[in-house]
Amino acid sequence: MVKEGLYTSSENSNPEVVAVKMLKDNARESDLSDLLAELEILKKINKAPHPNVIRFIGGCSLEGKLLVVTELCPGGNLQKFLRNNRVDYANITSTLNQRQLLKMAVEVASGMVHLSSQKFVHRDLAARNILLGEDNVAKVSDFGLARDIGNAEEY
């Protein structure tokens, strides 16, 4: 489950609204290992940040629960965005245009190229795993199935 939180750092005393990912109370042990693996992947990916990959802020535990903190993307996920802005072919109306769609596609591709250059494979790229930041900038997220292939000969 993902909730909003406030984050302040020693470098910036202004609180930043962030996304806080945590497990539900009824989570299984395998869910915890998956979240720990995602935390490790996010730490590695964010050694070389990219504007089209979700920004990892940190991880911690609170009252025995693991928390993964990332930037908050106010636009939600791409799947919901596309559903809410679907073209009505009967009236030929839409709030989206081809330029906006192409911009988002290029941003997703740019994020994926960056992940590949850092030797990571996402393995679950879908509109539900693309978040929209400020000005609807597309950001690849949800690295629960991602793999570090840095030591692999090929993938």
Best CA proximity match to 115, nearest among 138, 134, 140, 142: 140
Give the whole-angstrom CA distance, residue 17 versus residue 3. Answer: 10
Are 146 and 41 contacting, i.e. CB atoms less than 8 angstroms apart? yes
Q: Choosing from 25, 31, 34, 124, which is the catalytic residue?
A: 124
- Beta bridge pairs of residue 19: 4, 70
Helix (H, G, I), strand (E, B), or coil: what is residue 50?
Answer: coil
Residue 25 annotated as catalytic: no
- Beta bridge pairs of residue 4: 19
Catalytic annotation, residues: 124
